[in-house]
Copies of this chain bind each other. A is one copy, B any other.
């Protein structure tokens, strides 16, 4: 796994305040019948880096549905700017850009050969274990979002 932190991403000349990057490449399994990366594969890439981000927070969240409090995806948006082909190297990127009491927005991008091939964001909501009630974002998460990621309070 070749992850990149804020400084390493900036050193590559990638703008946008990203705090976590993952270097990767397009595999055969990412392609569809048009011989380019399928649209839903970008969602998979963004999901994978979102989980890496969560694991890196170090704030006691677990990912197997048994946590007292956990983030769930409320909505997702994505723009597809240019197609990607087998073998292309890319960096998937993320950071938290906005936050409210119980929800936050995480922005994503795929950087490849000097341009953003796809960008997007999800709105995450902190919920209880049964996902029946929203919960405030824990203070330690909130602190990281604001201080490290530069997230704006809504």
Task: List the interface of chain A (C-beta within 8 A of B).
Answer: 1-2, 25, 27-29, 31-36, 38-40, 43-44, 47-48, 50-52, 55, 63-65, 72-80, 83, 86-87, 89, 131
Given contacts A74-B80, A86-B63, contact A44 B51 (CB under 8 A): no
Given contacts A1-B25, A48-B29, contact A35 B89 (CB under 8 A): no
| Chain multiplicity (copies) | 4
Can you give 27 A-B contacts (C-beta < 8 A)?
A1-B25, A1-B89, A27-B51, A28-B32, A28-B47, A28-B48, A28-B51, A28-B63, A29-B40, A29-B48, A31-B32, A31-B33, A32-B32, A33-B33, A33-B34, A33-B35, A33-B64, A34-B65, A35-B64, A36-B65, A38-B47, A39-B47, A40-B43, A75-B78, A75-B80, A76-B78, A77-B77
Tell me, rounded to whole Å, the shortest Cβ–Cβ distance linking A117 to chain B: 13
Nearest-CB residue, chain B, relative to A3: B25
Given contacts A35-B64, A63-B86, A65-B34, contact A44 B73 (CB under 8 A): no
